[in-house]
A and B are shown apart, each in its own frame.
Chain A
Amino acid sequence: MIFVGVLIIFPLAWTLYLSLTDSQGSVRAATEFIGLQNYLTVLSDTERFWPAVGRTLAFTGAALAFEVVLGMGVALLLWRPFRGEKWVRVAILLPLVATPVAVGMMWRLIFDPNIGFANQLLGAVGIPPQPWLSGQDTALGTTIFMDVWQWTPMVVLILLAGLTSLSDEPDEAARVDGANAFQRFFYITLPLMMPTVIVAILLRGIDALKTFDILYATKGKGGGSFHEVETLNVYAYGLSFDYNQYGLSSAVLILFFMIIIGSMWLLTMRKKAVSK
């Protein structure tokens, strides 16, 4: 218990402390207390910080939207038992456990503008080749696609667990009353599933906000040479370990932490409202 406390409380407190100092360069260098200076610097930084906030939210929002809609679709397909179910489950499990860095490398090859399979596939149906990860405007979208590939299965599993625990009666009753499949889904199943959907959004959202591995593995330091995929986590990591700006990066982290807590709090409120 104490151990858990030490693991969690100490780093947070230390980050908070660092964010109020001018710590940089060597970790052994003397630091001075400079109050909220770092926060002012970060909050007035429209070059890196605010775009990173935007990218973080865009990445998370888009990935979540796709993952929840696709995840719900696939979960519904898997809901009723069928032959070959076992194989589909295996297929769903594999992306989920694959090492994100390796996955990033895999996509780098597939999305390579010259030799990648993605452009070959597009070429086969007559679409001109895309720059994917190397394009300034397409990189973020491509990483969102990767996230959707890897993590939609997670949403499927959570939603499927929710679907399986639903009672059949409301659905049956609606069927007897002559409701069609769409009506039954939108008026019966979806409202009943809302708490589970919010849990899925909550769990996946936290991880999506913190995405680091695939971004760093595909675009490297600073989220690429134009910071195309630099989210808050990548930015904070870069400040700390590529540029040793510990004070500044701590301020970014505290703000980032507040964003995460804030969005979680909003969702939990929403969930309470739905569950009532």
Chain B
Amino acid sequence: MTVITDSAATATDKHAPRRRKPLATRAYKVFRVVALIVVVLFLLAPLFWMLLASLKTNVDIYDTGKAFLFSPTFENYANVLQRNNYFVFIVNSFWVAFVSTALSIVLGVPAAYAMSRFTMHRSALVVLMARVIPGVSLLVPWYYVFSNLRMVGKFEVLILSHMFVALPLIVYIMMSYFDSLPLELEESAEVDGLTPIGAFRLITLPLAVSGIATAGILSFIFSWNNFMFALVLSGAKTKTLPVAIFDFVSYASIDWGGLMAAATVVTIPIMIIALFTQKYIVSGLTAGATKG
């Protein structure tokens, strides 16, 4: 799964026969290569197409003869960033995602620890419920409250709403992470005179850093991608990128080049983050999936 095991496996490959015989036959190997290429193409081609279209003028987009051969232009990006003020939306998106993630970590990590160590199963169920509730039914009550307080369109509200998603996610991931840390470490720390809180702060928390990174990255991505909450709760000043893109098509004719440039602008940052933190994302998404 990690790079280390990969290179270890290929190293043994060259020198000794592998412990586990591969599914052997030559036909299977060829089939596997072909199948994998098809899979990769299927997954990447649409994204590539989006990127290409974002570099075309609208005239070229309508000309099906110029699918791949065209003179690239950055005009769409210039338009999107300057005329449509996307810098503001990028900053908004980043700010909302960052603050809601940070706050959720501060609140969620101790909560997850408590649930994991004192086996509060009923509260674990509550967390699971949070994943199940449709977003709209969270949205309606909060919309009620905040519009009565005349607070819709403020950053605080948007951040709070993103925490509905982030907090349960972080608690869920961290719980399964704390469950996997040995209890003995804390017990011996407490024997040596630390308070339970001290043991948590000095022993468990440093060990949990990679778990927290996993939860944090995922929560940031979810918040960055979140559409529905921002659609209802954001105002002109707090609009986030997904809503800005959605607004792009509410006019009569679609500016495809601009739209694709906007779509690329919103996806590129998150993909770059994902590439560098691949390991964490995979472990976060599959947290708790295999132990039942």
Pairwise interchain contact B221-A97, C-beta atoms closer than 8 A: yes
Chain B neighbourhood of A80, CB < 8 A: 20, 22-23
Pairwise interchain contact B289-A97, C-beta atoms closer than 8 A: no
Distance, CA A83 to CA B6, complexed state (A): 9
Distance, CA A264 to CA B132, complexed state (A): 9
**CB of B41 to closest CB in A, whole Å:** 9
Q: Mark B139-163, 1 if CB is under 8 A from A, else 0.
A: 1111110011000000000000001
With an 8 A cutoff between CB atoms, is A89 at the interface? yes
With an 8 A cutoff between CB atoms, is A105 at the interface? yes
Chain A neighbourhood of B138, CB < 8 A: 7, 11
Answer whether A106 and B23 are a contact pair too, CB < 8 Å, given A90-B275, A217-B246, A257-B137: no
Pairwise interchain contact A212-B43, C-beta atoms closer than 8 A: no
Interface size class of A (residues with CB under 8 A): 35 or more
The A-contacting residues of B in range 260-292, CB under 8 angstroms, are 260, 262-264, 266-267, 270-271, 273-275, 278, 281-282, 285-286, 289-290, 292
With an 8 A cutoff between CB atoms, is A46 at the interface? no
**CB of B195 to closest CB in A, whole Å:** 20
Distance, CA A46 to CA B221, complexed state (A): 38
Pairwise interchain contact B144-A27, C-beta atoms closer than 8 A: yes
Chain B neighbourhood of A175, CB < 8 A: 21
Across the interface, A110 reaches (CB within 8 A) one of B22, B49, B274, namely B49
The DSSP consensus for interface residues of chain A is helix
Chain B neighbourhood of A14, CB < 8 A: 140-141, 144
The A-contacting residues of B in range 107-153, CB under 8 angstroms, are 107, 111, 114, 123, 126-127, 129-144, 147-148
**CB of A151 to closest CB in B, whole Å:** 11
Distance, CA A236 to CA B28, complexed state (A): 48
Pairwise interchain contact A100-B132, C-beta atoms closer than 8 A: no
The B-contacting residues of A in range 119-167, CB under 8 angstroms, are 120, 149, 153-154, 157-158, 160-162, 164-165
Interface size class of B (residues with CB under 8 A): 35 or more
Pairwise interchain contact A3-B107, C-beta atoms closer than 8 A: yes
Distance, CA A14 to CA B114, complexed state (A): 28
With an 8 A cutoff between CB atoms, is A44 at the interface? no
With an 8 A cutoff between CB atoms, is A188 at the interface? no
Name B residues whose Cβ lies closer than 8 Å to a Cβ of A: 1, 3, 5-6, 9-10, 20-23, 28, 32, 35-36, 39-40, 42-44, 46-47, 49-50, 53, 61-62, 64, 67, 107, 111, 114, 123, 126-127, 129-144, 147-148, 163-164, 167-168, 171, 221, 224-225, 227-228, 231-232, 241-242, 245-246, 248-249, 254, 256, 259-260, 262-264, 266-267, 270-271, 273-275, 278, 281-282, 285-286, 289-290, 292
Could you list some 27 contacts between A and B, CB below 8 A?
A: A3-B107, A4-B167, A7-B130, A14-B140, A14-B144, A28-B148, A73-B35, A77-B36, A81-B10, A90-B275, A91-B39, A93-B278, A97-B225, A97-B274, A98-B47, A98-B270, A99-B224, A101-B245, A102-B245, A120-B67, A196-B289, A213-B228, A216-B227, A233-B134, A233-B136, A236-B134, A240-B139
